[in-house]
Amino acid sequence: MDMSRRALLKVIVLGDIGVGKTSLMNQYVYKKFSQQYKSTIGADFVTKELQIDDKLVTLQIWDTAGQERFQSLGSAFYRGADCCVLVYDVNIQKSFETLNNWHEEFVKQAADPADPGAFPFILFGNKIDVDGGSSRVVSEKKAREWCASRGDIPYFETSAKEGYNVHEAFLCVAKMALEGEHEHEQEHEQEHDIYFQGISETVSEVEQRGGCAC
């Protein structure tokens, strides 16, 4: 195993108010779900260490406020992002429609202006558990069409509440971020030897249930 380098991968999670951004992150990192998360003010992030192939990576997942009014602030945190996760609520049409806006704004300010299409995005359709799917208003087909129109963005249907597909989705995020990651590699530091012991996650553990093409 190559232990000599570790990568810090910065991931930004964007989407409308209350689509479940914080819940998805907490489900992924802490395997917990709470009905009582508070709205995110400003920004925050969580980190998770994982191993992809022979590579140890630290995923730094940034949570931002969902109201457009704070978009200009959020952008301050986008610097150096390796991947952008867009989230909508499959039960709320509006949260799907505003994806265009989130996508566009992020591309404008964070992606390489020479090749904006190259920046790795991924889409999560969250809350598929609600009412057993009967209150759903955005079909999977529609979502996949949108993804296709944006340069074949990988798509995952998730439930942060049930923990469904969350792990797989974020693993895809990590792989995509790692692929494009060049600048954040850090020299391996001694103390991380201990830190990474016991992490057994590997790619083979979770094979592609969603649409990750990595």
Partner 1 sequence: MQEPDLHDLSDDADYAASLQQGSASMMMTRSDSGKSTSSSVPEGAEVVYLKDNVTIHPTQYASERISGRLKLIKQGSSLFMTWIPYKGQITNASLSERDRSLYTIRAVPFTDVRSIRRYTRTLGWQYIIVVLSSGLAFPSLYFYNGGVKEFLATIKQHVFIARSLEDANVFLVNDFQNPFQRTLSSLELPVSIASRPSASVSDGGEYSSYELQGRIDGSIHEDIPRPSQNHGRQKHKSHDPARDLTIQVLEKFSLVTKFARDTSSQLFRESNSNGYGAIERKSSSHSPPDIPHEASMDAKVAPGEGPVPSDPLEFDKMTLVWGKPRQPPLGSEEWEIFLDSEGRIIDSKALKKRIFYGGVEHSTCKEVWPLLLGYHAYDSTYAEREYLKSTKKSEYEIVKQQWQSISTEQAKRFTKFRERKGRIDKDVVRTDRTLSFYEGDDNANVNILRDILLTYSFYNFDLGYCQGMSDLLSPILFVMEDESEAFWCFVALMARLGPNFNRDQNGMHSQLFALSKLVELLDSPLHNYFKQNDCLNYFFCFRWVLIQFKREFEYKKTMRLWEVLWTHYLSEHLHLYVCVAILKRYRNKIMGEHMDFDTLLKFTNELSGHIDLDSILRDAEALCICAGENGAACIPPGTPPSLPIENENALLYTQEEDEVL
Query: Could you say whether residue 70 binds partner 1 (CB under 8 A)?
Result: yes
Name the residue nearer to partner 1 (CB basis): 7 or 212. Answer: 7
Binder among 30, 32, 67, 145 for partner 1 (CB under 8 A): 67
Residue 71 beta carbon to partner 1: minimum distance, rounded to whole angstroms? 7
Query: Could you say whether residue 79 binds partner 1 (CB under 8 A)?
Result: yes
Name the residue nearer to partner 1 (CB basis): 167 or 192. Answer: 192
Name the residue nearer to partner 1 (CB basis): 168 or 181. Answer: 181
What is the residue-wise DSSP string for the chain?
A: ---SEEEEEEEEEEESTTSSHHHHHHHHHH----TTPPPP-SEEEEEEEEEETTEEEEEEEEEE--SGGGHHHHGGG-TT-SEEEEEEETT-HHHHHTHHHHHHHHHHHHS-TT-GGGS-EEEEEE-TTGGGGTT--S-HHHHHHHHHHTT---EEE-BTTTTBTHHHHHHHHHHHHHHT--S-EEE--TTHHHHHTT----GGGS--SS----
C-alpha atoms less than 13 angstroms from C-alpha of 197 in its C-beta half-sphere:
4
Binder among 44, 49, 129, 201 for partner 1 (CB under 8 A): 44
Residue 69 beta carbon to partner 1: minimum distance, rounded to whole angstroms? 5
- The alpha carbon of residue 66 and the mean position of all alpha carbons in its chain are separated, in whole angstroms, by 15
Query: Could you say whether residue 29 binds partner 1 (CB under 8 A)?
Result: no
Query: CB-based burial of residue 27 (10 Å sphere; 0-12 exposed, 13-18 middle, 19+ buried)?
Result: buried
Query: Could you say whether residue 32 binds partner 1 (CB under 8 A)?
Result: no
Contacts of partner 1 in 102-131 (CB under 8 A): 105, 108-110
Name the residue nearer to partner 1 (CB basis): 29 or 43. Answer: 43
Name the residue nearer to partner 1 (CB basis): 80 or 117. Answer: 80
Query: Could you say whether residue 65 binds partner 1 (CB under 8 A)?
Result: yes
Query: Could you say whether residue 213 binds partner 1 (CB under 8 A)?
Result: no
Binder among 4, 36, 134, 197 for partner 1 (CB under 8 A): 36
Residues of this chain that bind partner 1 (CB under 8 A): 17-18, 35-39, 41-45, 60, 65-67, 69-73, 75-79, 92, 94, 105, 108-110
